[in-house]
Amino acid sequence: MLALALLADCNDGDSPADAGPQAAATATTQATSSPSPTVTATATPTLAPTATATATVTAPASPTATATPTPAPTATPTATATLAPTSTPPPQRTSASSQPGGPIGGSLRDQGATALGAVDNRSLAAPARNTLYSCQASQMGNALDRPWVDSASVVHFSEKPVVPGSVSWVREFSVPLSADEHHVLSNGLPAHVTGSYPIPTSSEAYSFDRNPNGMRAQSFDFVLPAEPVLAAQPGCLRGGPIAVTFSGAVIFNALDGDNREAVANEIFDLCEGHPQMTGQYHYHHGSPCFDTGNRSQHSPLVGFALDGFGLYSPRGEGGLLLTNADLDVCHGHIGPAVNDAGVTVEVFHYHLNEESPYSLGCYRGSVDSSLLGPPPPRR
Q: What is the spatial order of strands in the sheet that 310-312 belongs to?
A: 273-275, 281-283, 250-252, 241-245, 301-305, 310-312, 344-351, 332-338
Looking at the domain assignment, is residue 50 inside a domain? yes
The end-to-end CA distance of the chain, in Å, is 31
| pLDDT tens digits for range 177-190 | 777 889 999 999 99
Within the chain, strands assigned E span: 27-33, 38-43, 82-83, 114-116, 154-156, 167-169, 173-174, 181-186, 220-225, 230-235, 241-245, 250-252, 273-275, 281-283, 301-305, 310-312, 332-338, 344-351, 363-365
pLDDT value of position 106: 84
Residues 330, 127 contacting (CB under 8 angstroms) = yes
Looking at the domain assignment, is residue 67 inside a domain? no
Looking at the domain assignment, is residue 379 inside a domain? no
pLDDT band at 287 (very low <50, low <70, confident <90, very high): very high
Residues 313, 290 contacting (CB under 8 angstroms) = yes
Residues near 185 by Cβ (< 8 Å), separated by ≥ 6? 58, 60, 82, 172, 173, 174, 175, 220, 221, 222
| pLDDT tens digits for range 48-72 | 333 333 333 333 333 333 334 444 4
Residues near 201 by Cβ (< 8 Å), separated by ≥ 6? none
Nearest-angstrom CA–CA distance, 307 and 231? 10
Looking at the domain assignment, is residue 72 inside a domain? no
Looking at the domain assignment, is residue 31 inside a domain? yes
pLDDT value of position 104: 73
Mean pLDDT of the chain: 78
Has residue 24 got a pLDDT over 60? Answer: no
Average pLDDT over residues 288-312: 94
User: Which range marks the domain in which residue 216 is found?
Assistant: 1-62+81-368
3-state class (DSSP) for residue 261: strand
What pTM was computed for the model? 0.75
Residues 93, 81 contacting (CB under 8 angstroms) = yes
Looking at the domain assignment, is residue 148 inside a domain? yes
Which comes out higher in pLDDT, residue 237 or 81? 237
Looking at the domain assignment, is residue 322 inside a domain? yes
Looking at the domain assignment, is residue 51 inside a domain? yes
Average pLDDT over residues 264-268: 97
C-alpha count within 13 angstroms, C-beta hemisphere, residue 258: 16
Q: Which of 133, 137, 140 lies closest to 330, judged by CA?
A: 133
C-alpha count within 13 angstroms, C-beta hemisphere, residue 13: 20
In whole angstroms, what separates CA 156 from the centre of its chain? Answer: 22
pLDDT value of position 277: 94
Nearest-angstrom CA–CA distance, 44 and 25? 6
Has residue 7 got a pLDDT over 70? Answer: no
Domain tally, the chain: 1
Has residue 4 got a pLDDT over 50? Answer: no
- Do strands 363-365 and 344-351 pair parallel, antiparallel, or not at all (unpaired)? unpaired
Cis amide leading into 234 (omega within 30): no
pLDDT value of position 376: 42
